[in-house]
Amino acid sequence: MIEVINVSKTYGETAAVQGVTFSAPSGVVTGFLGPNGAGKTTTLRILLGLARPDAGTALIDGRSYAELPAPRRVVGAVIDSMGFDPGRTGRNHLRVVARAAGIARSRVDEVLDFVDLAGAADRAAGGYSQGMRQRLSLASALLGDPQVLLLDEPANGLDPAGMAWLRRLLTDWAAQGRTVLFSSHVLTEVEFVADRIVIIDRGRVVREGSARDLYGSDRAVVVRSDDCDRLERLARAEGWTVRRDGADRFVIRGTTSAAVGLAVADAGIALTELSSEISTRSLEDLFLDLTTAEAHA
Amino acid sequence: MIDLFAAEILKLRTTRTMGWLLLAMVAITGLAVTGAVVLAANANLDLQSEHGVRTVLHVSASGALFVLVLGAIISAGEYRHRTATDSFLTTPRRWRVVAAKLGTAAGVGVVFGVLAAGTALALAAHLYALKGYTFPLSSSEAWQILGGAALYASLLGALGAATGSLVRNQVAVIVGWLVWLLLAENIVVGLAPDFGRWLPGAAGRGLVLDPNGDFLAQPAAAAVLASYAIAIAILAIVVERRRDA
């Protein structure tokens, strides 16, 4: 369980995060979504004790990171500022981390196999591809078999097979009752795997909730009528959100098809179609509505 | 803490840096001792006298600068390769990271210093024989100097590690210390000798009984150098607790 409570942090004149509050419960994958520069990495760095917040607290299982007795066994993290000595092999990098954290050396081989890096483990990390580096970072996060995974843009540099593998890893981790919080600026990654979504923009959380609540079950009523003007006036009077979609087609939100049918009958408007649609609104629509990210045509 | 020291040693063992620095240190020590014996013999100095032994052996500390470089790499090198984040994730109490690096640099420094001192002694004995002298192995000065040289290497390692934790840039640390020890400090010592005795380079010369000048006695010199390292380490810890990793 991760809880971020009213966290603020300013770098110079720039407010990186302002009063950020959200939680990531155990047993679900939480996606932390926001445009570049929205404050995702700053928030994760504060959670990990790498940056000090000006205000607020960030807790993992009820404690700040620095208070965790064996942090590597509780939290596995991948964050952008982690690197490798180019002259050290991947295996030795993991041995160093395991040694410092008091983790059994046998775990090194286990995680190397798990991230499918055993074949390259005895080569210097300086020669690794970006995807291999990302796997090595993940391996080092998994060394302590942690209850909490905290990953900053973990899909960066992974090929499609790697992405599929990562999605399975996150889902399996949460299915075991553990906590997963991962950040991304790529909508499809979040859409595929997150059960719960936190959207951040310009340092503030703009929406938080289960994927279903946020966009999945958004119902819309679709009607067709030749009496366009009167239908639009009626929709406004009833307080529905209406969008004209083509010459005679309307998509109405904020009501049910039964209520639309009754109101239309009362008003004496003839319909040529009345139906309902499910999930007409995508995460992309929501994201573009809520954030300052621009859609690139 | 044992785990942290072991991890620091493992870091050094898993790259080539440490081996190259040791090689350089031994080579420079050998070169310095050879030069000192040749110059002293050419100046018709009595190599077997106390002054002769001090003149020849005090240069066995010249390779200690490589331990300072190693200390800087142990701490500031983590920022160069961005492995510091990993260290702080494993050990969020940052004073322990700084202390482990200081201790590791000092410990490895002793080993390097003993190896360099052994090289100096073996080479000096050999060169003495070539010049028709017998090296005075029973001279207490010889052993004091060699012990002082090993200690100097250890303390320079600690200084390098402490400064590296504070400055986080290994090139800046190494260049800064080289400029100070080889250039700037000599100027200060020339201007104010009484004050200059307490500076780190002069303290180091006291540690190896450098005959060319008036330096602190060995115990005081060791205490002064250790104090510099500890003071900088404490400063590094205070700063490290406040800043972002």
Domain that holds residue A275: 219-280
Do residues A50 and A78 both lie within one domain? Answer: yes
Q: Is residue A201 part of a domain?
A: yes
Do residues A207 and A257 both lie within one domain? Answer: no
Q: Is residue A288 part of a domain?
A: no
Residues of A in contact with B79 (CB under 8 A): none
Q: Look at residues A215, A242, A264 and tell me which one is the last residue of a structural domain.
A: A215
- Apex CA A128: angle with CA A124 and CA A129, to 5°? 175
Q: Residue B204 and residue B206: Cα distance in Å, rounded? A: 5
| pLDDT for the residue A297 | 36
Contact B92 A65 (CB under 8 A): yes
- CB neighbours of A142 closer than 8 A, spacing ≥ 6? A76, A111, A114, A115
Q: Is residue A147 part of a domain?
A: yes
Q: How confident is the model at residue A281 (pLDDT cuts 50, 70, 90)?
A: low
Q: Residue B144 and residue A271: Cα distance in Å, rounded? A: 106
β-strand pairing of A148-152 with A29-33: unpaired
Do residues A12 and A156 both lie within one domain? Answer: yes
Nearest CB partner across the interface for B93, out of A66, A83, A99: A66
Do residues A175 and A109 both lie within one domain? Answer: yes
Q: Is residue B77 part of a domain?
A: yes
| pLDDT for the residue A296 | 46
Nearest CB partner across the interface for B81, out of A52, A79, A83: A83
Here the CATH number for the domain that contains residue A134 is 3.40.50.300
pLDDT digits (tens, 9 = 90+) for B34-53: 999 999 989 888 888 999 99
Q: In the numeric block, which tokens belong to residue B37?
A: 């014996």
Q: Is residue A93 part of a domain?
A: yes
Residue B207 buriedness (CB in 10 A; 0-12 / 13-18 / 19+): buried
Do residues A235 and A126 both lie within one domain? Answer: no
Contact B90 A97 (CB under 8 A): yes
Do residues A17 and A61 both lie within one domain? Answer: yes
Do residues A147 and A269 both lie within one domain? Answer: no
Q: Is residue B141 part of a domain?
A: yes
| pLDDT for the residue B124 | 94
- CB neighbours of B66 closer than 8 A, spacing ≥ 6? B21, B22, B24, B25, B28, B112
Q: Residue A16 and residue A43: Cα distance in Å, rounded? A: 9
Residues of A in contact with B244 (CB under 8 A): 45, 50-52
Average pLDDT of chain A, as a whole number: 88
Do residues A154 and A192 both lie within one domain? Answer: yes
Q: Is residue B245 part of a domain?
A: no
Contact B14 A100 (CB under 8 A): no
Do residues A127 and A267 both lie within one domain? Answer: no
Tell me the whole-structure pTM to 2 decimals: 0.83
Mean pLDDT of A265-281: 80
Here the CATH number for the domain that contains residue A270 is 3.30.70.250
β-strand pairing of A179-184 with A196-201: unpaired
Q: Is residue A223 part of a domain?
A: yes
Contact A81 B82 (CB under 8 A): yes
Do residues A246 and A135 both lie within one domain? Answer: no
Contact B14 A89 (CB under 8 A): yes
Q: How confident is the model at residue A284 (pLDDT cuts 50, 70, 90)?
A: confident
Q: Is residue A108 part of a domain?
A: yes
pLDDT digits (tens, 9 = 90+) for A106-155: 999 999 999 999 999 999 999 999 889 999 999 999 999 999 999 999 88
Q: Is residue A39 part of a domain?
A: yes
| pLDDT for the residue B244 | 84
Q: Is residue B49 part of a domain?
A: yes
β-strand pairing of A219-224 with A241-244: unpaired
Q: Is residue B244 part of a domain?
A: no
Mean pLDDT of A167-186: 93
How high is the mean pLDDT in each 10-residue block of chain B (245 residues)? 93 94 96 94 89 92 94 94 92 94 96 96 93 89 94 96 95 96 91 91 93 91 95 94 83
**What is the count of structural domains for chain A?**
2
Do residues A86 and A187 both lie within one domain? Answer: yes
Mutate to test the interface with A, among B15, B18, B86, B88 (most CBs of A within 10 A): B86
Residues of B in contact with A48 (CB under 8 A): 89
Domain that holds residue B219: 2-239
**What is the count of structural domains for chain B?**
1
CA closest to A42 among chain B residues: B244
| Complex ipTM > 0.85 | yes
Do residues A177 and A189 both lie within one domain? Answer: yes
Q: Look at residues A200, A215, A230 and tell me which one is the last residue of a structural domain.
A: A215
Q: Is residue A285 part of a domain?
A: no
